[in-house]
Structure 1
Amino acid sequence: MSRIVCFILAVIMAINLKGASTEGFSSHREIIGYVVDENNEPLPGASVRVQGTVLGAVTDTDGKFSVRLNESGNVILQVSFMGYKPVTVESDNITNTPIRLLPSNQQLDEVVVTGSFVERPLKKVPVLTRVVSQRDIQALNPNSIESLLQYELPGVQIGFNSMSQQPEIKYQGMDGEYILFLIDGERVSGEGADHNVDFTRFNIDDIERIEVIKGAHSTIYGSNALGGVINIITKTANRPVSANLSARISNGYGQKYTGSVGVNKYNLTTYTSLTYRTADTYTIGDPESASTTIWGYNIWDFTQKLGYKFNEKISADLKFTNYWNQKDIRTGRLYQEYNRDYTLGAKIKYLPATSHQITIGYMFDNFWKDHHFFRADSTALNYRNIRQTPRIDYAGKFGNVSINVGSEGDIEYLKHYMFKDSTHYTNHAVAFYGQGEWTPIAELDIVAGLRADWHQKYKWHLTPKLSALYKAWDAVTFRLGYAQGFRSPSLKELYMEYDMGGLGWFMIYGNPNLKPETSNQYSASVEFSRWGLNTSISASHNRFSNKIEYLMLSDGTSDMQYVNADKARTTSIETILRYNFNFGLTLTGSYAFTDDYSNVDGHNTSSTRPHSATFSAMYQKKFKKVSLTASLNGQWGSAFDTYSRSSEADVNGEYAWEKRHYDGRTLVAMNVGATFPRGIYVNLGIDNLFNYKDKATDSSLQTPQRGISFVGTVGLNLADMFKW
């Protein structure tokens, strides 16, 4: 790692020296302007970017911005703000006239970056993409990312692993190993529940928005993303000087306190945040005396970002994060569990010419778990996962053709208590990708991509991608797509040798002879957007080969092993309807159907709810100096039946099957918030409004809810309070 970090720092220093040899920004002109809303009120926090450069600025409390240029002449400014239509203006036209932004009645003006490293409006993205915006997050005011995803994305199911005490995700029939989680475009190391990331790493207060690509359509992030990519974009300084304090208290569920400070001016950006959050331990009991305990935790999150624009063409960013999770002590255990992680990343962006961009980046992610034996006052390392991800990407436009080419490395180290003698294994992988987008006519975009993955054990594998967007009329857009996916077995699936429970009940073995999984996904969608109405319906079908599953060994024991099973398939249909009324009310509803059939001896063993829906009503209005937000959010999952097989065969070698029924589930949350003058924000909410209570025996299917809870949040925007 040290060599790569030193190389990146050397490049940054060389660029800095080159920039220093040219004339400074202060010797040239400064563009000053103002951004206002539809009522001609100042719009603080709006983003202003100079087209064709890395330069930009953000507006202060009075809506004022200032951009320093190293070159003279007229330039194009791109101005945007969440919930408003973006505009482009010439710098010569803003001398005496404020830039006025109007509210947007649709999400399609949101900018996304996950499909490529270049920002583009959602309405122009050929690949099926969903955005959870900052406005959605603020209105729901969730306690965790699991809750946020369930309320915002139909087809998301969050289960609970009682052994690891961690959530498990299932998205439209796809388990956690098929969902690639990213933070600012970089892979996340570490495991929480089996084959799932540690979801408690994701601090809601640090999230700006979430971009979701369904299926394996992303060429850049194709490997190990058969079910989709969830890219969490984190916050940065959105004002010339910003500082925020907030506190969230929920009765019986925990507390959260966050402070952040940032600077975004004179081509320097720095952002620092610190969060302390807790979750309380609670127990769910059933009438038949079964019970499940959900153990709490105490977490510290720290983030430090630093960015600098050396000139119009070159910028560099550094990022450091630290996560520290002290879990509550479980009854009967002589140790306390700690989950820790720190990351260090660097990125350089260079614009060699107009419409051309080169990005070089490196991420080091070190995640580990400790057991602290409190009586002996000693600590033992239980697990460590280190991932290093170097990458280089080029994006360019040639007439009506845009291309992305690049390479991504994945250097992994894994020490696991589920390996024999808690040993460690390593793996090296690299991918090369190329993606081209052709716009033969204004209404049609065609994207073709090819990804070549090299794995230390499995060598080369090619995965093609193809998608198209056709805007038949101004209000109607069609999308079609085909993508082949590839997932190499994880180190745990290859080399695991673990006594489940530690009592000799049964062993779970890895399998070094596993083959990689492949998939073929077909997708289609149609979207209508006009008069404040945005509605779409999409369908996708996935077929898997060599799907990796557990299988009981035929040796008279209850031992199990990872194997390549028969072919599997999932089919999903999703529809979304959103309508914005002119008086501040937005209604949103979505529904997903998932046909996930896992056939074992003629029985369906799938635990996926076939029908799910989300719905929300959000009202936003400004009364003089007070901004009011009220929202009602709901999630629903249908009832279903599934089958489980006994662990031992009878005298005839046959296994008994048990049918299990799971009831439907509806959760509703209500929040009312107000922003007062001088930056004071208050939110009052009720989570689980109808007091729904899960059964303890259902905990493997979903994180158990114990009933209604009341939430209070207060925040201070010090930039508004002190007029920074």
Structure 2
Amino acid sequence: MSQFRVPGAALRGALVAGTAMAVLNLSSAAAQESAASDNLVQGSVPQVPEVVVSASRVPLPSVAVGSAVTVITGEELENKQSRFVADVLREVPGVSVNRTGGFGGLTQVRIRGAEANHTLVLIDGMEVGDPFNGSEFDFSQLLTNDIERIEILRGAQSALYGSEAIGGVISITTKAARPGFAASLAAEGGSFATKNLRGSANAGFEDFDLRVGIEAFETAGFDLSPSGDENDFSQAISANFRSAYRPVDDLEFRVNGRLVDRELETDGQDFVTTGEAIDADTYNEIRDLSLRAEGQLDLFGGAWEQTLGGAFTRSDLDRFDGGALTSGSVGSKRKLDYQSNVTLETPNLLETVHGFTVFGEVEQERFENIQPFVPTADREERTTNYAVVGEYRLQAFERLFLSGSLRHDAFEEFEDATTYRVTGSFDVPETGSRLHASYGTGIKAPTFFELFGFDPGTFVGNPNLEPERSEGWDVGIEQQFLDGRVVADVTYFQADLFDEISSDFAGGFTTPVNLSGESERNGVETSLRIVPFDGLTLTGSYTFMNARQPDDRFEIRRPRHSASFNANWSFLDARANLNLGVDYNGEAEDLEFATATDRTRVRLDDYTLVSLAGRYRPVEGVEVFGRIENALNQDYQEVFGFETPGRAVFVGARFSFGPSGLQ
């Protein structure tokens, strides 16, 4: 029986709320759940065949994935109660998180030592990064409300997703509509005068469904400056929706959308004496919009599936000082794409299943730099890029899984580029072992801001930049013990980056430049999951990472050592839950932008963040919850010169209505 086929309805059932990317990618090559379960070690711990939607152009059962991937479920998000996705990502092997001070401050996520704009972020199949900044995604805007699952795919994935995926992919799926009507409303408050209100509404019918989620977050914050006395305010409103219409069997139309509107106070920076943040009467207004519409047609019983889709992304940023607009930017992206998947089974030839995918897209980007006081710095550019992808997947004997991808990008501003990727997974269910490996190449085009950007007194672009290129590989083993109650994974990775874009600080201005030579990254990622008894789950991870520039200096803000531990206890027939999280971030280096000193680098001390969370459901449809963040009141910095929040306490309640529960 094919491991590469999951019918659309069965897939939606398997993921409960469904997976937008799973539907988006048209899985003619995903596995039937009954066959996938045969390859899992059975025991007293229930084993649910996990579908991974980001590791291929089609969804795959986890046993068939050769790349290193971590999946965080919506239930885990509820148990940990983190309100920002970035805080959950701290637990993922190979991932580094840096937030510029407080809530709402620029939050960057790096995978395996790559840069923040090397991480592609997808939400329900939509690319949500800021096109003006090379599609880099600011994780400070991403709240956890209404998220069903998060996948973190590590390693170069440009052969699947293009320029932005040179370091990895983070794919987020929001909850889909369930049958019937339902609604949920939650409110919480706590330290720093923080208020959070979130809700969801659901309507599901046989041929049509719709789900809408909305969240409002506001905090008085704290002072980002080490020497100031002014709290920095932040607020955000985000909304998302998913809808689907099925006029006839084998035909479905889908529309997804996301809107975020934010405002946050910012501090200036002393570029002369200390390099630290200083109080200032400045704030930013940011608006992000993402939309996607597509239609899927299944033919020959699902053996041939096709999708035609279009997407639009826009990000607007306005900076103010004393109430006056000082600078801004606009970035937008329009995309049209088509994908075709074909599955062929040859049971008499090594029990093989073959999957073929062809994908093509045309993408138009628009960039605008706004400088009211320096009209000569105002600039508007448009580019159009084309890409075509081919992917082949092979399954043999229901235990060997291979894949290969090839992509050609035709850039308007740069030379054309071809990237490729191969993966392999070999499952040995008799011993609970699985070997996995991947190799891939990547390319990252310079951002518009890096090429032509201008910020008076701080930044000047460089139109002579060349694209960054990389190649890397990883190999690992996953091992289960005690009938699946213990699962361990160890992965070694290595990647080489060429023409790395770095910052040159001279004369009070920062200018991007290409570094000559080879930037090396290598390390080991480990993870462990233990279920000593039903209801208690212990997880841990440790990463050793060595990320260096061509001159052998460490890359900034990448710790060599990082680790996490989480204990989750569900009891009273799952009506109560307690969660303990511990995240360790080792020493790292950062840049000091101060002309008065001769040093260019400083050390960021290591730190440990401890969180405690609990929730209790006294009656059906009602839940009370609370959490403590930074319980040890650690004093630390993730970015040099910017303070971080101390111990904080939050409490709240949730009310759910309708048959679906909508937790």
For the criterion TM > 0.5, the same-fold answer is: yes
Equivalent runs, 1:192-591 vs 2, <5 Å = 196-217=136-157, 219-252=159-192, 254-283=194-223, 290-291=227-228, 295-328=232-265, 336-353=283-300, 354-370=302-318, 382-399=328-345, 400-417=353-370, 420-474=376-430, 475-501=432-458, 508-530=459-481, 531=483, 532-552=485-505, 557-566=507-516, 567-591=518-542
Change in 2 beyond 3 A, CA 1:699/1:201:
closer
How many angstroms apart in 2 are the aligned matches of 1:51 and 1:169? Answer: 32
What corresponds to 2:575 in structure 1? 627
2:605 and 2:509 map into 1 onto residues whose CA distance is 31
2:656 corresponds to 1:714? no
Query: Structure 2 vs 1, CA of residues 529 and 465 (structure 1 numbering), >3 Å: closer, same or farther?
Result: same
Q: Deviations over 1:193-251 (max 9, x none)?
A: 99842323323103211111101136321322111001111122234222111112222
2:545 to 569, 590, 594: 594
Q: Give the conservation status (yes or no) of the 8 Å contact 2:93–2:527.
A: no
Who wins on radius of gyration, i.e. which is larger? 1
1:237 and 1:263 in contact (8 A); partners too: yes
Asked whether the equivalents of residues 528 and 534 of structure 1 are also in contact (C-alpha less than 8 Å), the reply is: yes
Q: Distance in 2 between matches of 1:383 and 1:373?
A: 16
- Cα 1:657–1:413, aligned 2, differ >3 Å: closer, same or farther? same
Alignment partners' CA distance in 1, 2:359 and 2:44:
37
**Sequence identity, in percent?**
19
Q: Is it true that 1:116 corresponds to 2:56 in the alignment? A: yes
Change in 2 beyond 3 A, CA 1:430/1:195:
closer
- 3-state SS, counterpart of residue 143 of structure 1: coil
Pairwise CA distance, 1:385: 1.0
Q: Measure how far apart 1:172 and its partner are.
A: 2.8
Indicate the SS of the match to 1:283. Answer: coil
Note closer, same or farther for the CA distance 1:140–1:438 as it changes in structure 2 (3 Å cut). Answer: same
> TM (normalized to structure 1)?
0.77
Residue 315 of structure 2 contacts residue 330 of structure 2 at CA under 8 Å; is this kept in 1? Answer: yes
1:576-613 Cα offsets, whole Å, 9 max, x none, are 0001233211110100011012254x654633210000
Whether contact under 8 Å (1:58, 1:264) holds in the other structure is no
* Residue 109 of structure 1: how far off its partner (Å): 2.7
Shift in alpha-carbon separation, 1:351–1:255, aligned structure 2, 3 A: same
Find the residue that maps to 2:299 and give its secondary structure: strand
C-alpha distance in structure 2 between counterparts of 1:165 and 1:194, whole Å: 19
Q: 1:512 to 1:349 in 2, by over 3 A?
A: same
Q: Distance in 1 between matches of 2:64 and 2:307?
A: 22
Aligned equivalents of 1:402, 1:78: Cα separation in 2 = 14
Q: 1:703 to 1:614 in 2, by over 3 A?
A: farther
Cα displacement string for residues 490-543 of structure 1 (whole angstroms, at most 9, x for unaligned residues)? 112222233235xxxxxx332222221111101111101242111000111111
Checking the alignment, whether the CA contact within 8 Å between 1:469 and 1:477 is kept in structure 2 is yes
* CA-CA distance at 1:255 after TM superposition: 1.6
Distance 1:646 1:583 in 2: 55
* Kept in 2: contact 1:166–1:193 (CA 8 A): no
User: How far, CA to CA, are the matches of 2:235 and 2:101 in structure 1?
Assistant: 19
* Residue equivalent to 1:672: 614
Question: In structure 2, do the counterparts of structure 1 residues 192 and 166 end up closer, same or farther at CA, with 3 Å as the change threshold?
Answer: farther
**TM-score with structure 2 setting the length:** 0.84
Q: 1:340–1:645: structure 2 CA closer, same or farther, 3 Å change rule? A: closer
**2:644 counterpart of 1:705:** yes
Structure 1 residue 254, shift from structure 2 partner: 1.5
How far off is 1:188 after superposition?
1.4
Residue of structure 2 equivalent to 1:9: none
Aligned AA (2:652): T
Q: Does 1:687 align with 2:629?
A: yes
Report how far residue 455 of structure 1 moved.
0.5
Q: Secondary structure at the match of 2:159?
A: coil
Cα distance between partner residues in 2 of 1:329 and 1:284: 8
| Matched ranges for 1:50-61 at <5 A | 52=7
CA contact (8 A) 2:486 2:529 kept: yes
Which amino acid in structure 2 is aligned with residue 280 of structure 1?
A
Q: Distance in 2 between matches of 1:369 and 1:643?
A: 25
1:343 offset after TM fit, Å? 2.5
Shift of 1:660: 3.3
* Residue 281 of structure 1, CA deviation: 2.3
Q: For 1:31-90, what per-residue CA distance to the aligned partner results, in whole angstroms no more than 9, with x for missing partners?
A: xxxxxxxxxxxxxxxxxxx9645588879x9xxxxxxxxxxxxxxx9889xxxx979xxx
Residue in 1 aligned with 2:19?
none
Aligned residues: 616
| Secondary structure of 2:410 counterpart | strand
Q: Distance in 2 between matches of 1:466 and 1:407?
A: 19
Q: SS of 1:310's equivalent? A: strand
CA contact 2:98–2:557 (8 Å) conserved in 1:
no
Task: Kindly state the Cα deviation for residue 709 of structure 1 after the two structures are TM-superposed.
Answer: 1.2
Matched to 2:232, the amino acid is W
The match for 1:663 is 605
Q: 2:75 — aligned with what?
A: 135
CA displacement, residues 661-690 of structure 1 (integer Å, 9 cap, x when unaligned) = 332200011111122333111112111121
Sort the Cα spacing of 1:403 and 1:495 in 2 relative to 1 into closer, same or farther, 3 A. Answer: same
Q: Which protein, 1 or 2, shows the higher relative CO under an 8 Å CA cutoff with sep ≥ 6? A: 2
- Mean alpha-carbon deviation: is it higher for 589-598 or for 404-413? 404-413
Cα distance change, pair 534–145 in 1 and its aligned pair in 2 (3 A): same
CA contact (8 A) 2:626 2:650 kept: yes
Matches of 2:600 and 2:289 in 1, distance apart?
Answer: 44
Q: Deviations over 1:456-506 (max 9, x none)?
A: 0124211111111112453111112110111111112222233235xxxxx
Residues 83-122 of structure 1: matches in 2 within 5 Å? Answer: 105=46, 109-122=49-62
- Distance change >3 Å, CA 565–CA 479, structure 1 → 2: same
User: Residues 582 and 716 (structure 1 numbering): CA distance in 2 closer, same or farther, change over 3 Å?
Assistant: same
CA drift at 1:160 = 1.3
Relative distance call for 1:495 and 1:685 in structure 2 (3 A) is: same
Q: CA deviation at 1:621?
A: 2.6
Q: How far apart, CA to CA, are the structure 2 residues paired with 1:719 and 1:198? A: 35
SS of 1:705's partner is coil
Shift of 1:161: 7.1
SS of 1:252 mapped into structure 2: helix
**1-side partners of 2:655 and 2:571: how far apart?**
20
Q: Does the 8 Å CA contact 1:520/1:543 hold for their aligned counterparts?
A: yes
Distance 2:615 2:256 in 1: 32
Give 5+ residue unaligned stretches, structure 1.
1-49, 62-76, 88-100, 502-507, 649-654
